[in-house]
Amino acid sequence: MHARNTGSDLPPASGDETRRVADRRTQGGAEVPPELQSLARRIGHTHLRQRLGLEEDHEVFCFSRPGAHFFYPENWYSVHGFIRTALRLAGLYERAQRNSRTIRLTHHRLTVPGLPPPFEGLRLLHLSDLHADMDPRITAAIAARVRGLDYDLCVVTGDYRARTYGPCQAALDGLAEIRGQLNGPLYAVLGNHDSIRLVPGLEALGLRVLLNESAALERDGAVLYLAGIDDAHYYQVHNIQQAAARIPADGVALLLSHTPEVYRHAAHAGFAAMLCGHTHGGQICLPGGRALTWDARCPRRFAAGGWSYGGMTGYTSVGCGSSVVNARLNCLPEVTLHQLCRA
C-alpha cells in the first residue's frame, strides 16, 4: 500500500507471536488484561472474554491459515497490489485516490416513528468506517469536513483501524485528529475491524462506546433512547435483547450497529430507526454508483443510503474512510447530517 498507509504497512507477525497467541488459546480462554477490568464489570466477563478470545483466534488464523474462512483481503499485501495495478492500467488510479479524500456532506431527513415532539429537528452527525490509520491524508480530509458543522449529537458506527488485527495506537492517533473537530455528545459502536482493546482509548477521547448497551437522551422533559450493539458481522457478539434491556416497552429508540445485517432483528425488536455502515457502499463501483460487492448478508437496498423495513427506518453510511486501498470510484466517502422528524 501507500508508503504512508500505517494500517496496511504493519509487518506480519513473527512465529513467536503466533505461538504466543495460540498458547493463550489453550489455557482456558482469553486473559482479561488489567486495563479492561472495569470494562469487564460493565459489560460482563463473559462478553469480554468471548470477544478477546475470538480476536485471538482471528490473529492465529490470519497468520497461520490465510486460506481459511477468516480471510480478509485488507490483510493481504497481494490484494492491495492487484487492485492498485488494475486501477493504474485502467488510468483511474489518481482519480480514485483523489476521490478517497473528497468527503461529501450528505443531508438526510431521518423519519423516526413515534419521535417525541421535543426531538423534532434534532441534528445528528453520523460518521462510519473512518479507518483512521489508513492514510493520513484521508484522516485530515475527514477532520476538515466535520470542522464547524452544526449538530446536536454525533454517532460513529465503527471500524476505526485499517487492519482487522495488530496495534491500535495509530488508529487512536488518527481518530484524535478527527475528534479535535467534533463537539457535543459522542456515541459509538465497534466494527469488525476493531479490537475491544480500543474501548479505553476511545472513551478517553470522549466517545461513549455502547457495547450491547443503551443511553437515555433527555430534551425538554422527553426521552429518546439510543442503543448500540457490538459487532454483528464477524465477531457476532451482538445482543439486541441486552442492548434494549433498559429501554421501556413504550420507549422510542434508535439502534447503532456497525453493519445493516441485523435489520430484521432490530425491526422486530421494536427499534424506530437504525444507523449503520460497514459496506462502504461498495467503495469501487460501476458508473451510477452500482456496487459490485458490499460484504454484508443483506439485500442491495440496505447497502447504502436510506431504507425502511417493517415499521423501522434506517440509513447505511457509505463511510468516511477507505478499506483495502485508499481509492474510491463512483462512490464518494461521506459524513451524514441527519435531521430527525416524526412520521
Place of cell 431527513: 109
CA-wise closest residue to 237 among 57, 17, 35: 57
Q: Is the pTM of this model over 0.85?
A: yes
Q: Going edge to edge, which strands form the sheet with 222-228?
A: 213-219, 222-228, 253-256, 273-276, 312-316, 305-309
The whole-number pLDDT of residue 7 equals 34
The whole-number pLDDT of residue 43 equals 96
Question: Which region among 9-18, 106-115, 189-198, 315-324 has the lowest average model confidence (pLDDT)?
Answer: 9-18
pLDDT digit string, tens, across residues 64-93:
654 444 445 555 445 666 677 777 767 788
Half-sphere exposure of residue 286: CA atoms within 13 angstroms, side-chain side = 5
The whole-number pLDDT of residue 78 equals 55
Could you list the beta-strand ranges (E) of the chain: 104-112, 123-127, 153-156, 186-188, 208-209, 213-219, 222-228, 253-256, 273-276, 285-286, 290-291, 305-309, 312-316, 334-342
Confidence at 241, pLDDT banded by 50, 70, 90: very high
User: Does position 25 have pLDDT exceeding 80, yes or no?
Assistant: no
Domain ranges of the chain: 98-342
- The Cα–Cα gap between 248 and 304 comes to 30
pLDDT digit string, tens, across residues 188-224:
999 999 999 999 999 999 999 999 999 999 999 999 9
pLDDT digit string, tens, across residues 250-295:
999 999 999 999 999 999 999 999 999 999 999 998 999 898 888 8
Q: Do 130 and 175 form a contact (C-beta atoms < 8 A)?
A: yes
Check if CATH label 1.10.3210.10 holds for domain 98-342. Answer: no
Which one-letter DSSP state was computed for residue 22?
H
The whole-number pLDDT of residue 86 equals 75
